[in-house]
Amino acid sequence: MSTIALAQFRKQVGPDLPLIGAGGVESVETAFAKIAAGANLVQFYTALVYRGARSSGGSPLRLSRLLDRRGLASIADAVGIETNNGGRTP
Ligand SMILES: Cc1cc2nc3c(=O)[nH]c(=O)nc-3n(C[C@H](O)[C@H](O)[C@H](O)COP(=O)(O)O)c2cc1C
């Protein structure tokens, strides 16, 4: 629900207002979903507390591969690319 709300918020405010995605981020994939829904920054908190940085954060390499698969050159290019389907990534 927080990702859907984020995507709707991004659509309402346009591209310039910095937004922080929060709620349920536990991996590179769930962090990317927030970015694709329009987040400029992502909060990684509860999963960090309960599972620790090594087991739940994912690696920059995995994020880099995820960007490559979508033909994106940078994280900035991914901000808001999925706002039309509620932030859900295929
Ligand atoms: C141990 C712990 C206790 C928390 N207690 C509260 C709380 O009392 N009130 C609150 O609004 N958020 C609290 N939070 C934060 C929210 O659970 C959490 O930040 C929010 O749901 C967003 O999810 P995220 O941490 O996955 O981004 C707590 C988080 C942790 C890890």
| Domain range summary for the chain, segments of one domain joined by + | 2-85
Q: Tell me the per-residue pLDDT of 8-51, one tens digit each, with 9 for 90 and over.
A: 999 999 999 999 999 999 888 999 999 999 999 999 899 888 88
Distance between Cα 81 and ligand 1 center (Å):
27
Rounded to a whole number, what is the largest CA-CA distance in the chain?
36
DSSP letters of 13-51? H-SSS--EE-SS--SHHHHHHHHHTT-SEE---HHHHHH
Specify the higher pLDDT residue, 24 or 89.
24
Closest-CA residue, ligand 1 atom 24, reads 23
Closest-CA residue, ligand 1 atom 17, reads 46
pTM metric for this prediction: 0.87
Do 73 and 67 contact (CB within 8 A), yes or no? yes
Q: Measured from the CA of 48, which atom of ligand 1 is nearest?
A: 31
Which backbone phi and psi does 21 adopt, to 5 degrees? -85, 130
| Across 52-69, average pLDDT | 79
